[in-house]
C-alpha cells in the first residue's frame, strides 16, 4: 500500500483526547506511527492481549475489547460534549481565532441529552427509513451510469470513480446542493475531517477554522433559499420539522447540515473503498460474492467489521466508575477503539478472516448508544449496491492492491486511490 499523504506542517497541537506527540511516541499504541497507521490490527491485538484497558498517560484510557466498547458507548456516566472537559479551555487556546467558534452550536454528534434528544428527534422526522429506501432507484442509477463509463474505459480508480461520487451525489441530492457547488462541498469536507482526529497539524487546524466559517455561511444561504421557496429536499424538511412545538433554529440546522454533509459521504466512501480493497486481497471472497449475490447484506456487514471506516471515538467521563475493576475518574477521557473491538476473538470467531457469510455480526462500525450513526441505513444501501454491482458486472475485475493509497487520517480510515482494471 502506498504511503499516506503528508500534511505540510507536521507539528501537531494538543487535543483533549491524547498526549502531546513526544509522549505518544513512547506509548504502547500510537496510531500516528507509519506502520500502525498502515495496518493497526496487529497493534490492536497486542493491546487486547496485554492491556485491554490501557492508560497511555494520566487522565486517558484506551478500550480495545468488544465487551468494554459497547457498554461504554451506552453508559450514562459519559459525555460527548467536549465543552464539559476540564481541558477544553486549554484546547481552545490552541485554536486560531477561537472566539469566533464560542457562539457556534455544536452538532448533535458532540451533544448530550436533553439537547441531543431534541435534535435527534427532530432530524429523525426528516430522515426516515421510507426516505432512505426511496433513494434505492437513484443510487442504482448513479452506480449504473458510473459502471457504463468504466466498461468503455476498461479501468477505474475505485475511490475517485465510485466510492466518492456515489455518496457525495446522493447526499447533495438530498440537500438540494446545486451541481456547480458540489466540488466545493467535497473540498470543504476533506479539510474538516481532520478535526475528528485526536491530534491535528497546526496548519490543518487553522485551515479547518476558515473552511468551517465558509461552509456554514454557504449553508445559511441554502436555508434562506428554502425558507423562501421550500422543496422536497432535506433542508426544507429540517426547516419545517417540529416535535411537540419544538423547532430547529437556523444555527442548529447549519450545524446539522454541516455534520451530515461531511459524515454522509466520507464514511460511506471509506466503506466502499476499504471493502473493495479487502475483496481485492481476498479473491476467494470476491468470487464467492460474485457467484452468490444474495449474500450482499451480510457481506457489507463483514466489510464494515473487517476494516471499519471509523476506527475510534471518544467520551468524557462525568462520574467515576469502574471498567473490569479499573477505576476511571470524572474528567478522564476514554477512547473506544472500534477497529480493535471489531477484531476481538472473544466476540468474533477467527476475527482476522474475511467471512462474507458471518452471522451473527455484532460489529461496532456505526458506534453505539444514543450516537449510533444516523446514516447507517443509507450507508448500508449505498455499500450494498456499489460493491454488489461492481463485483457482479466485471468478472475479470483486477484490483491493484499494491497501488492503494491510504488517507492520512486516524479517526476515519479510508483510501485516496485504488486502481483497478475490468
CATH of the domain at 367: 1.10.630.10
Instruction: Please check whether residue 255 is in contact with residue 106, taking contact to mean a CB–CB distance below 8 angstroms.
Output: yes
Strand 333-337 and strand 60-63: the pairing is: parallel
**Any domain includes 218:** yes
Q: Is the pLDDT of residue 5 over 70?
A: no
The band of 89, judged by pLDDT with boundaries at 50, 70 and 90, is low
Residues 6 or more apart whose CB falls under 8 angstroms from that of 178 comprise none
**Any domain includes 3:** no
**What is the C-alpha to C-alpha distance for residues 401 and 333, in angstroms, rounded to an integer?**
36
Domain count of the chain? 1
Q: Is 1 exposed, middle or buried (0-12, 13-18, 19+ CB in 10 A)?
A: middle
What confidence score (pLDDT) does residue 240 get? 82
**What is the C-alpha to C-alpha distance for residues 408 and 222, in angstroms, rounded to an integer?**
31
Q: Give me 81's grid cell.
A: 460534549
The band of 105, judged by pLDDT with boundaries at 50, 70 and 90, is confident
**What is the C-alpha to C-alpha distance for residues 60 and 55, in angstroms, rounded to an integer?**
6
Instruction: Please check whether residue 32 is in contact with residue 24, taking contact to mean a CB–CB distance below 8 angstroms.
Output: yes
**Any domain includes 156:** yes
Average pLDDT over residues 342-355: 98
Q: Is the pLDDT of residue 24 over 50?
A: no
**What is the C-alpha to C-alpha distance for residues 63 and 66, in angstroms, rounded to an integer?**
8
Tell me, rounded to whole angstroms, the distance of Cα 179 from its chain centroid: 24
**Any domain includes 4:** no
- For the stretch 154-163, pLDDT in tens is 999 999 999 9
Residues 6 or more apart whose CB falls under 8 angstroms from that of 273 comprise 158, 159, 163, 414, 415, 418
Residues 6 or more apart whose CB falls under 8 angstroms from that of 321 comprise 75, 77, 327, 328
What confidence score (pLDDT) does residue 129 get? 79
What confidence score (pLDDT) does residue 287 get? 98
Other CB atoms within 10 A of residue 25 CB: 11
Range of the domain at 342: 12-421
The residue with cell 450516537 is 371
- For the stretch 259-317, pLDDT in tens is 988 887 889 999 999 999 999 999 999 999 999 999 999 999 999 999 999 999 999 99
**What is the C-alpha to C-alpha distance for residues 339 and 287, in angstroms, rounded to an integer?**
25
DSSP for 295-337, written as a single string = GHHHHHHHHHHHT-SB-EEEEEESS-EEETTEEE-TT-EEEEE
Beta-bridge mates of residue 333: 60, 316
**Any domain includes 1:** no
**What is the C-alpha to C-alpha distance for residues 378 and 401, in angstroms, rounded to an integer?**
27
First to last CA, the chain: 20
Gyration radius from the chain CA atoms: 21
**Any domain includes 54:** yes
Phi/psi for 392 (5° steps) reads -70, -35
Q: Which of 245, 219, 241, 240 is nearest to 230 (CA)?
A: 240
- State the average pLDDT for the chain: 89
Q: Give me 138's grid cell.
A: 437513484
Average pLDDT over residues 115-123: 90
Average pLDDT over residues 325-335: 96
**Any domain includes 7:** no
**What is the C-alpha to C-alpha distance for residues 297 and 241, in angstroms, rounded to an integer?**
32
- For the stretch 364-402, pLDDT in tens is 999 999 999 998 999 999 999 999 999 999 999 999 999
**Any domain includes 78:** yes
Instruction: Give the lowest-confidence range in 70-79, 204-213, 219-228, 291-300.
Output: 204-213
Amino acid at each position: 500500500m502506498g504511503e499516506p499523504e503528508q500534511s505540510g506542517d507536521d507539528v501537531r497541537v494538543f487535543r483533549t483526547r491524547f498526549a502531546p506527540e513526544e509522549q505518544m511516541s513512547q506509548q504502547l499504541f500510537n496510531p500516528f506511527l507509519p506502520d500502525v497507521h498502515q495496518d493497526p490490527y496487529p497493534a490492536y491485538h497486542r493491546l487486547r492481549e496485554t492491556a485491554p484497558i490501557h492508560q497511555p498517560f494520566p487522565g486517558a484510557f484506551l478500550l480495545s475489547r468488544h465487551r468494554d466498547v459497547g457498554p461504554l458507548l451506552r453508559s450514562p456516566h459519559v459525555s460527548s460534549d467536549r465543552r464539559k472537559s476540564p481541558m477544553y479551555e486549554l484546547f481552545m487556546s490552541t485554536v486560531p481565532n477561537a472566539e469566533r467558534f464560542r457562539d457556534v452550536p455544536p452538532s448533535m454528534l458532540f451533544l448530550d441529552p436533553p439537547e441531543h434528544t431534541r435534535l435527534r428527534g427532530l432530524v429523525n422526522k426528516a430522515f426516515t427509513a421510507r426516505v432512505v429506501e426511496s433513494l434505492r432507484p437513484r443510487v442504482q442509477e448513479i452506480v449504473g451510469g458510473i459502471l457504463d463509463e468504466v466498461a468503455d474505459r476498461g479501468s477505474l480508480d475505485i475511490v475517485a470513480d465510485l466510492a466518492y461520487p456515489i455518496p457525495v451525489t446522493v447526499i447533495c441530492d438530498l440537500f438540494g446542493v446545486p451541481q456547480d457547488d458540489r466540488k466545493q462541498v467535497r473540498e470543504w469536507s476533506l479539510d474538516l475531517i481532520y478535526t475528528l482526529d485526536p491530534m491535528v497539524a497546526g496548519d490543518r487546524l487553522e485551515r479547518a477554522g476558515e473552511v468551517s466559517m465558509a461552509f456554514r455561511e454557504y449553508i445559511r444561504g441554502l436555508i434562506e433559499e428554502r425558507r423562501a421557496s421550500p422543496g422536497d429536499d432535506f433542508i426544507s424538511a429540517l426547516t419545517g420539522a417540529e416535535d411537540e412545538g419544538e423547532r430547529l433554529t437556523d444555527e442548529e440546522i447549519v450545524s446539522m447540515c454541516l455534520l451530515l454533509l461531511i459524515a454522509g459521504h466520507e464514511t460511506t466512501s471509506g466503506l466502499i473503498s476499504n471493502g473493495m480493497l479487502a475483496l481485492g486481497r481476498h479473491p476467494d471472497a470476491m468470487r464467492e460474492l460474485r457467484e452468490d449475490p444474495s449474500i450482499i447484506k451480510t457481506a457489507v456487514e463483514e466489510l464494515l467489521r473487517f476494516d471499519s471506516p471509523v476506527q475510534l471515538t471518544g467520551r468524557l467521563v462525568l462520574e467515576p466508575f469502574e471498567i473490569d475493576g479499573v477505576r476511571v475518574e470524572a474528567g478522564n477521557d476514554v477512547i473506544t477503539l472500534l477497529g480493535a473491538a471489531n477484531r476481538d476473538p472473544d466476540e468474533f470467531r477467527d476475527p482476522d478472516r474475511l467471512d462474507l457469510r458471518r452471522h451473527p455480526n455484532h460489529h461496532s462500525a456505526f458506534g453505539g448508544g444514543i450516537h449510533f450513526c444516523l446514516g447507517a441505513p443509507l450507508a448500508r444501501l449505498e455499500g450494498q449496491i456499489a460493491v454488489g454491482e461492481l463485483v457482479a458486472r466485471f468478472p475479470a475485475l483486477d484490483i491493484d492492491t499494491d497501488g492503494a493509497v491510504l488517507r492520512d487520517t486516524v479517526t476515519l480510515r479510508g483510501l485516496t486511490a485504488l486502481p483497478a482494471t475490468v
